[in-house]
Amino acid sequence: MPEHDSASITPESKLGDLLERWPALEAVLIELSPHFRALKSPVLRRTVAKVATLRQVSKVSGVPLATLIERLREGAGLSPLAVTDDSGDAPAERPPWAVEGAVTQTHDARAAIEGGEHPLPQVLANLATLEDAQVYELLTPFVPAPLVDLARGKGFLSYSVVEDGGMVRTYFRKDDWTAQRP
């Protein structure tokens, strides 16, 4: 087996790339979690699947990263790869600021996503206007893990809540503790 094939399914692999290369992996994903049934949507395939890494997909689906990688590599006929699970830096408990009553601005991206648009430019523009202690709420049909990771890299805290019916509320707030940390 060529060397590049043995490392082609890693935590940083893009989900869309894997599904293009190995279409049968869709069935493996659906077997792992019902969340992956959404991959049947062409809109989701064109938007989120193109940018989401397996590390992010693991967070969204609740499937441990090591299990996800192991099963996908097995489904693609690749040799095992040692991967350690990581929980990321998302808070386990809901922070007190991540509540509807604290929200100062809301963006419902569900219609745009269903229309094949990516909410990233609008969300980043909205976050740029956020003042300290203000809370921004993003409504999506799934946890927007790639967008959350990008926002965290820009100094925002985040917390996502999956509600009945599949709607996800993701709350963002500037990390006002950064300046106070030693």
Contact 97, 135 (CB under 8 A): yes
Q: What's this model's pTM, rounded to 2 decimal places?
A: 0.64
Average confidence (pLDDT) over 117-134:
90
| Domain layout of the chain by residue ranges | 3-75, 100-180
pLDDT (0 to 100) of residue 177: 56
pLDDT (0 to 100) of residue 122: 93
Q: Helices 65-75 & 25-32, crossing angle to 10 degrees? A: 150
- DSSP 8-state assignment for residue 148: H
**Topology annotation, domain 3-75:** SP0561-like (1.10.3910)
Q: Which position has the token pair 């799934």?
A: 142
Q: Which of 41, 59, 38 is nearest to 143 (CA)?
A: 59
What digits encode the pLDDT tens for the residues 134-167?
999 999 887 787 888 889 889 999 998 878 777 8
In the chain, the largest separation of any two C-alpha atoms, in whole Å, equals 56
- CATH assignment, 100-180: 3.30.110.40
What digits encode the pLDDT tens for the residues 55-78?
888 877 778 889 999 999 999 999
Q: Does 87 or 139 have the greater pLDDT score?
A: 139
